[in-house]
Amino acid sequence: MVSRRFLARGLLALALPSSALAEVPAEGTHAPARESPEARAERLFHQAERHFDAGEIAPACQAWSESLKLAPKLGTLLNLALCHETQGKTATAWTEYHYGAAWAAQNDQKERQEFAHDHARGLERKLPRIQLQLPEDRQIAVIEIDGEPLPEPYWFLPHYLDPGDHTITVSAPGKVRRTIEVHVLAGLSAQSVPILPLDDAPLPATPRGAAPSPPAGTQRWDTRWRTVGYGTLGAGLVGIGMGSVFGIRAISLRDDIGSRCAGSACTPEGAAIRDDARTSATISTVSFAAGAVALGVGAFLVVTGKRPVPDASTRAALVPFLDPGMRAVGVRGAF
């Protein structure tokens, strides 16, 4: 097991450019007026090291997180994962270790890959999880955990969360939005969270014979395509995950060939391993491509899928028009 001190100062320091090893401004000094993102990421990385060595875990995690956003590097990610593990955020650290292991495997950095795998396996038995118990007659459009939409394919799977307080929000058109407070305890194998049916939203009082309309100044939204977008994003994540798994398998099989193949000549066992490696590599490539397309489509639908719905006070208007070329006469409508 690599020590924390070695992790912060040795192994992961390789992720930074050589200039990162130079002296950086001490914490509290003023940064250059026009500091580049890379320079700021470097400065934050070293600030995080000093915080971590001093036992100031929360500021260290914050600084590494900001550094990672400015300049994504494998070393920064693994430092952040170790920081979150030390902080007790086991689910967050577990996810970051898995990303780091796949990243290291793709870069053929076996030492970092083993480090990430070892830490992830060590956390697996400690991960608290919740299981949503949805009503049989469910009329739910969106589920959010801590403000993040949960794709529908994942509604029925266990959700690994950090110990502490979390919020689950459930909503649907025509229903009253509900927020559930959940306190996740460390060390529990599973916590069941029942989701009760949503209540119908009250209709505004309207005069007899008049069509109901929303209160003045409000805007209704059609979010159906956004829901489809979240599902497509989930499928994209699954594709990326499959691509990572088969990619790692292809690399492992390639390393196992060894002396069984010399050039194009292989022993029967070597030929079988080589063919298996090629198949895994093909599946990995296809999965990554499909996952990337699904992520792109899902992101587009999420961003553009929230459209305003005209309220009942909008009046239809038909306007006659004459084509300038005298080819058509008709009406145009606005609804």
- Domain with residue 82: its CATH number is 1.25.40.10
Whether residues 11 and 81 fall in one domain: yes
State whether 14 and 48 are in the same domain: yes
Separation of alpha carbons 275 and 242, rounded Å:
19
Model pLDDT, residue 203: 81
* Residue 307 CB neighbours (<10 A): 11
The total number of structural domains that make up the chain: 3
> What's the confidence (pLDDT) of residue 320?
45
Residue 157 belongs to a domain = yes
Would residue 10 count as lying in a domain?
Answer: yes
Say if residue 25 is in the same domain as residue 119: yes
Q: Global pTM?
A: 0.51
Range of the domain at 175: 129-201
Residues near 11 by Cβ (< 8 Å), separated by ≥ 6?
A: 2, 75, 111, 112, 115
Coil/strand/helix, residue 50: helix
Which DSSP string do the residues of 281-317 spell out, in sequence order? HHHHHHHHHHHHHHHHHHHHHHHH--EEEPPTTPPPE
**pLDDT in the model for residue 238:** 79
Task: Rounding to the nearest 10 degrees, give the CA dihedral for residues 235, 238, 243, 249.
Answer: -150
pLDDT for the residue numbered 8: 42
| Whether 32 and 141 share a structural domain | no
Q: Looking at the domain assignment, is residue 59 inside a domain?
A: yes
* Shared domain check, 135 and 56: no
- 106 part of a folded domain: yes
Instruction: State whether 179 and 87 are in the same domain.
Output: no
Burial class (CB in 10 A: 0-12, 13-18, 19+), 121: exposed
Q: Tell the burial category of 127 from Cβ atoms under 10 Å away from its Cβ (0-12, 13-18, 19+).
A: buried
Residues 99 and 23 in one domain: yes
Tens place of pLDDT for every residue, the chain, 335 residues?
334 443 444 444 444 443 343 334 545 555 556 889 999 999 999 999 999 999 999 999 999 999 999 999 999 999 999 999 999 999 999 999 999 999 999 999 999 999 999 999 999 888 898 999 998 877 889 999 999 999 999 899 999 999 999 999 999 999 999 999 999 988 766 788 998 888 889 887 666 666 566 555 555 556 676 677 777 777 778 777 877 877 787 677 677 766 667 666 777 776 777 777 778 778 878 776 877 777 777 777 767 766 665 554 444 444 444 444 444 444 444 44
Instruction: Write out the DSSP string of 238-250.
Output: HHHHHHHHHHHHH
- Sorted by sequence, the CB contacts under 8 Å of residue 180 that are 6+ apart come out as 167, 168, 169, 170, 193, 195
